[in-house]
Amino acid sequence: MPTSFSEILLSFEFVSSDASHQAFLCKQTGKIYLRSDLSELDELNDELPDDVEDDEKYVAKAFTRADQTRVRVHFALAISSRLLPP
């Protein structure tokens, strides 16, 4: 099942907002699971599957500042190539 861009963007924003946030994408279903170690965000924590550490089934991501910079650069290059004349 495909994951929508808005769900991926939401998980990216969630994970990049604090180092204690994590996101896990199920390769089979497309469901994104969100987790945080911050106690005030307990209501946002999804119940994680028992096999969430299985790299064959899930993609786990905790974005670092370097990841954010790379994503922003690639995004800017992609947008500029569409907006600027050749």
Q: pLDDT of the chain along its 86 residues, tens only?
A: 678 888 888 888 888 777 778 888 888 888 888 888 876 666 667 788 899 888 889 888 765 666 667 767 766 777 776 666 66
Taking all residues of the chain, what is their mean pLDDT, rounded to a whole number? 78
Q: Which two tokens stand for residue 52?
A: 């969430």
Instruction: Tell whether the torsion through CA atoms of 8, 11, 13 and 18 is positive or negative.
Output: negative
Element (H, E) at 60: strand 58-61
Rounded distance between C-alpha atoms, residue 52 and residue 54, angstroms: 5
Q: What is the pLDDT of residues 46-62, one digit of tens each?
A: 788 899 888 889 888 76
- Cα 49–Cα 19–Cα 75 angle in degrees, nearest 5: 95
